[in-house]
Structure formats: C-alpha cells, structure tokens
Amino acid sequence: MKKMIWIFLVLFSSTAFAQQNNGITPEQQEQFRKQMEDFQKQMQVQMQLLKDSLQQMQQALNGVDWSQFDSMDIEMPEVPEMPEMPEMPEMPSSSSVDVYGDNTKVRVGRWNINVESDDNGDDHVHVYKDEGSDGCSDMCGDDDELKNVETKFMLLDVGLNNYFAKGFSSNFPDGYESLEPNPGKSWVVNIHVINQRLNLVDYHLWLSYGVFFELNSYKYNTDNVLVPRIDSVAFAVSDEPLQKNKLSCEYVGIPLMLRYESNPSHEDKSFHVSAGGFGEYLLGAHTKVKNTSDDKSKHHDDFNLNRFRYGITFRAGYGFVNLFANIGLSELFVSGSGPVLYPSSAGLAFEF
C-alpha cells in the first residue's frame, strides 16, 4: 500500500513538474489535463453514488431483527449494486510505469523516478533525467531546441587594462609618464547584465547585442596623483611615498556584434567567433591613494575623461570560455585636455 501511495504521489507531482521541464508537447499536456478533469468529475459522481448505496445498506441493516440470529433464519437485505469505477485516463505517450518485483520505475518525458525497496522493507526514491534521446520517444521533443532569439543574463569578462599612444605606441608624451599604468595590476571587469542573439542564417550566424557595465582600474607605480576639478590632466606629488595609487572609472555600454557558431545545437562543443563594435558612457570615476602611514584618501571627479567613447571588440573561444579584446577608437581624455591615449583591454570571457 505504501508503495502504491509513492507511485501515486510521484506520478502526479512529476507530471506537474514535467510540464515545465520535459519534452511533452503542449498539446499532450492540454489533452491530459482535460482527461484528468473529466476523470475527477466522474470520480465525484461515483463517490456520491457509493455514499448513497452505503446509506441504503445502513437503513436496511437497521431494520433487521437481530434476535432471529440464533435461529439463522435471517433474510439478509439486498446489497445495492456498486457503481462502476470510471476508467483512468491514459498518461501521455512519453510516460510509463514499469514494475520489477519490489521495484517500480516511473518515466514522465525525460524524467525517471525509481521506487526501490531495500532488505528492511524501506522504500527509496531516485529521480534523474535522461541526458540523451535513448530514454525518450520522439514524442518527448527536444529540450535543446534552437530558438531564433537566445537570451542570457549576467555574463562575465575579466581581463587587464592598458592604453596606448597613437599607432599603439607604448611611449607616452613628455610630461605624462606618470600615466603609464602597471599592466599586471590594472584590471577590467565587464558585467553583461543581458545579452541577446538574433538568428540570421541557419543558427550559425547571429546578431549579438545587449547591455554591460565596465569597471576599470588603472594602477600606477609613481607617487604622482591626478588632480581633480581642473580643466586639464595634471599631477601633484604626494608628500609621502605611496603604497597604492589608482584611477577607477565605470561605464555602461552597448555592444553590437556578428557571431558565428560552428555547432549551434551544442554550444559546449562549439567554436565561436564574434566581431563588432561598442559604445559607452562614463558613469563615474575616482582616485584612491594609500601612503606608507596607511593614510587613505579618495577623490571623485571625471578627471577630464571622455564622457562618451567607442571602439571595436573581438571574441573567440570554444565552449563556455572565450578570449576577448576591446580596442578604443575614441580618446581616453577630452580632446585638448591631456595626452592622446586610446584605451584597450583583453582577457577571458565566461558564457555559462
């Protein structure tokens, strides 16, 4: 009896769960739902008939003279005819129940539920999902069915920051050598809040776009600190040697790329490459310094950084891990306020 209760609970809970997680078609789900509603109504009718029959039986038994019991000369009242039980609606074709001795296996779509009894008579339930198509008929559908619009959230890029003079030269203009960042400690983090892809050609060529936040950190090895709230890029020498000297700036941006997928049905086994452009807007910036006496100071300003900037972006990888590179085509600082420098970044992009 306990196993039958297990089977009943597992079947109906897994059927409801499968409506969101297996491959049963919406038409099958709707048909099965209507069958269950009809079955419920029939059960209510039959239960009422059974209740009426039991009441008739009770009234008949109340009229029996039990003193005649010893003589065995008793006319037993006629038992009312029991109502017929309605037929249980069939489960969708992708569902089944198999019994093997003390073990029972229930399958709903790609989901499998095993009810097993151990030597002590205790029941254990195991739930798992078929990874391939062998455990599911054609009626189950394809969980990995390709869509014309794919949406992902909270993708992450982590890399290193730098900037270059004209012609990708690493030689900084005279008087601005203090701007040279430490390339191994200048980090960039891009948080792609939303990324969408629009199918263009046979799910191999896509148009990719979205919204991301870029968090930049440029660390310097000198004791020269950027001066805030002036109309040009200038430095002031710290009174004490500095342990930390950095410039942080945050942007919100929109990328627009063409993306090629070699194996669109299985992205974890696909080579992909993307190329396009991006535009960004400066949200804020600040400097942060810490001297050898552990005194800290932070100043918020735009430091004559360009409010708007744009550039080109590249991505290439296999599976969920990619390499990315962003190259700025607009100047880092407002034209005429400082040196002509072009920002760039490169690193790893994760697309789980």
How far apart CA 216 and CA 162 sit, in angstroms, is 10
Span 31-57, pLDDT tens digits: 767 776 776 677 777 777 767 776 776
More confident residue, 19 or 214: 214
How far apart CA 339 and CA 287 sit, in angstroms, is 18
Calculate ∠ Cα 207-208-210, nearest 5°.
Answer: 140
**81, 108, 140 - which closes a domain:** 140
Query: Quick one: which H or E segment has residue 277?
Result: strand 271-291
pLDDT at 83: 54
Same domain, 217 and 255: yes
Same domain, 310 and 337: yes
Look at residue 232 and tell me whether its pLDDT is greater than 70: yes
Instruction: Look at the chain and report how many structural domains it folds into.
Output: 2
Q: Which domain holds residue 206?
A: 149-350
Is the model's pTM score more than 0.85?
no
Same domain, 295 and 258: yes
Q: Token digits for 60?
A: 């008949």
Same domain, 181 and 103: no
DSSP letter for 29, please.
H
Least Cα distance to 313 among 199, 194, 159 occurs for 159
How far apart CA 319 and CA 9 sit, in angstroms, is 39
Length of the chain measured in residues: 352
**140, 164, 189 - which closes a domain:** 140
pLDDT at 334: 94
Same domain, 113 and 164: no
How far apart CA 252 and CA 191 sit, in angstroms, is 10
Same domain, 178 and 296: yes
Query: For residues 181 and 163, is the Cβ–Cβ distance under 8 A?
Result: yes
Same domain, 124 and 218: no
**105, 140, 175 - which closes a domain:** 140
Same domain, 56 and 155: no
Same domain, 135 and 154: no
Least Cα distance to 280 among 180, 210, 206, 205 occurs for 210
Query: For residues 16 and 135, is the Cβ–Cβ distance under 8 A?
Result: no
Span 298-328, pLDDT tens digits: 999 999 999 999 999 999 999 988 999 999 9
Least confident of 8-17, 64-73, 239-248, 265-274: 8-17
Same domain, 51 and 158: no
